[in-house]
Amino acid sequence: MNTQPVEIKILDRLVRVNCPPGQEQALKDAANEFDQRLHRLAERTKVTNTEQLIAIAALNVCHELNDAKQALETVEDQVKQRTALMTAQLDKAVAVQGSQK
């Protein structure tokens, strides 16, 4: 797959990252969000070590991702349960309808 270099700014540093064609804006948006998170985290924690700040931010993002995955799994389970219930109700209704003919 072809990639092209895109410059993004993280903590006032320019970083060149390879990016698939057509994904440049998504990359820039993600970099902007990450940069904002880093700045907010630095203000909140008073951490000045860049590596430590990035590690903390990455852990926070991973934690949020895990929470989102768990929430999605819960919703998927609920959908499966409701679908099974609706299928059973439909089967019962069809059976009743068929026996009345």
Alpha helices in the chain (DSSP H): 24-45, 50-99
pLDDT in tens, 49-86: 999 999 999 999 999 999 999 999 999 999 999 999 99
Q: Cα angle vertex 45, ends 17, 65, to 5°?
A: 50
Pairing of strands 13-19, 4-10: antiparallel
| Domain map (residue ranges) of the chain | 4-71
Mean pLDDT of the region 35-51: 95
Could you count the other beta carbons within 10 Å of the beta carbon of residue 79? 10
Q: What is the pTM of this model?
A: 0.74
What's the pLDDT score for residue 101? 67
Q: Tell me, what DSSP letter sits at residue 36?
A: H
17 near 8, Cβ under 8 Å? Answer: yes
pLDDT in tens, 4-24: 999 999 999 999 999 999 999
pLDDT at 87 over 80: yes
Please tell me the class of the 4-71 domain: alpha beta
